[in-house]
Chains A and B, each alone.
Chain A
Amino acid sequence: MDVKITNQDGKTFVTLDGRIDTTNAEKFQQDVSMLMNMNAPDIEIDCKGMTYTSSQGLRIFLMLQKSVMVNGGKMVMRNMNPQVKEVFDITGFSNIITIV
């Protein structure tokens, strides 16, 4: 899993590439931990390259979404591949995270 984070015009862009699973979830959590401490963040996550996530990844996306809410910000996930989207749908995560 490769995570790129850039800031532009007050927005934070995150690009995900690869698989989020039990072998790298801890590192992924560290990679995105800075996003959980931002005041009123405006985060856009490009999921085009994310080929897989298990419950380990879902756990971190939920933590991230909760922190964004608490910090008065917003977050949107884009370009999710159909299989990853199915995992978000089945678990009800599509209802609590904005996916476009």
Chain B
Amino acid sequence: MSLLARLQSLDRRWIFLLMAIAVAGPILWSGLTGKTPPEQPTDAARRVLKVIDDLPEGSRVLFAFDYDPASAGELQPMATSLMRQCAARKLRIVCIALWPLGGNMAQETIAHVIRADFPSLREGVDFVNLGFQAGNEGVMKVVLTDFTKAFPKDTRGQAAADLPILQGVRTVRDFPLLVNVSAGYPGSKEWVQYVVSASEGSVKMIAGCTGVQTPQMYPYYPGQLAGLLGAIKGAAEYENLLNGVMGGDPAPKYLEAQRRMAPQLFGHLLLVGLIVVGNLIQFMGRRGTRA
């Protein structure tokens, strides 16, 4: 059997094995050496940092966790960094979720960032988790007219209207910034369509989303979206920028996205190589058939 014929009938499991090596190798390298590949931040990630940085201390931020553990590998690093910057800037963080497990992701992020590194922040005063509400776009329409009607209590059972952090909040327009980390529907696109557009510019929004969603979200940037973190690359860029601003040696948990860029690099190189080789084999096969 010729080399061409052998390549044309190559068992796809060799490709899986190559991909496993391309992804696992850099993880082991990064895990053992602690090194991460360099990052060159794009304008979209710079703007995310700037939008949060420009808010006056004590401003309220509505943080929507619209994802679940299935997408945590891609989205958790950006949620961690976004919450870290908000907490460091002494903004008041109100967490909500339109995905059933989003409330748990918010709780985990709060434990991971606020309780671990900002212990002086008080629950109900400086941050709160209002948990999950069913209703998708329905909830978005309600927060435009009555915020505490959509989220009547926090995850501890305290009435939202009694929480110091929500005093003076009538609608979503009372939050100068909406931060959304989303894995699909309902998520960033719906927040732009139902809340940002309807608020006529009074609600600024930054979004962090999965790779699958990113091409759909780019048309909204920089008009309807003030900043955009696209997939793990966006998360790594933002993480790198934030670590630079915060100074000092960042804790390993604040390098998660950058660590995941090493497998990205080799995985993509392999895929590009496979596409080129696959096309060459296809063309050579066609020429052979014609001849």
A is bound by B:
no
